[in-house]
Every structure is written in C-alpha cells, then in structure tokens.
Amino acid sequence: NAGVMQNPRHLVRRRGQEARLRCSPMKGHSHVYWYRQLPEEGLKFMVYLQKENIIDESGMPKERFSAEFPKEGPSILRIQQVVRGDSAAYFCASSPIQGEYAFFGQGTRLTVV
C-alpha cells in the first residue's frame, strides 16, 4: 500500500506563472488536507477536502489559490500568478475517515524565481 504520493517533488516557476501541485491519497482514504511550510516554520493548515467537496478552506489565501479533489484522480492545489512569497514546501495528508490519524506525503517544494 503506497503512501501519500505528491508530485512533483520540486517545482520551479517564474513570477506570474501557474503552479499545479498534485496529491494522490493513500488507497481507501477519502479525506485530503493541504498544509504549507515556510522556511524555518511549522506547517500551516490550508484546506480540507473530501471527494468533490471543500470542507474547510479557512487557511487558504483569498486570492490566487484554489484546491479540488475530484471524484476520479488526485487532489490538486493550484496557485495562479505565483509570487516569490509563495515559495514554500506544500504538504498533503490523507486519512480514511474523519478523526483518524492522517498520513503526510513527502511534499512539493515550490521555488518562485
């Protein structure tokens, strides 16, 4: 049973481009969480999704950021018109049911140049 798979592991984007980060949850997991980790800081919650539903997006910036978890395929975190301040590690976690421990992926390290 593969763990939470995130790709790409590293992503370099120029200012103004779009970044698309993918997360495939563990088999049987229908809950996905995205966290952002700035250098030398802890992880900050961004969004919680279930299949086809956004449950809690209280940690998402109001502009340029969006997330989805379609019925088929991975969860996608999309950042439009990236700026240098978006450079960070983005982690996805998944869990099978509400309240169960969530497993983290290895993260996508986004660098905006």
Partner 1 sequence: QQQVKQSPQSLIVQKGGISIINCAYENTAFDYFPWYQQFPGKGPALLIAIRPDVSEKKEGRFTISFNKSAKQFSLHIMDSQPGDSATYFCAARTGQGAQKLVFGQGTRLTINP
Binding stretches for partner 1 (CB under 8 A): 4, 31, 33, 35, 40-45, 48, 55-56, 91, 93, 95, 98-102, 104-107
Between 85 and 99, CB nearer to partner 1 = 99
- Report the residue number, 82 or 94, with the smaller CB distance to partner 1: 94
Taking the least distance from each CB to partner 1, the nearer of 18 and 41 is 41
Min dist CB 75 to partner 1, Å, is 14
**Two structure tokens written together for 47:** 């969004």
d(C-alpha 32, C-alpha 96), whole Å: 9
Nearest distance in Å: CB 89, partner 1: 9
Q: Which helix (H) or strand (E) holds 108?
A: strand 108-112
Coil, strand, or helix at residue 85?
Answer: helix
With beta carbons less than 8 A apart as the criterion, state whether 70 and 3 touch. no
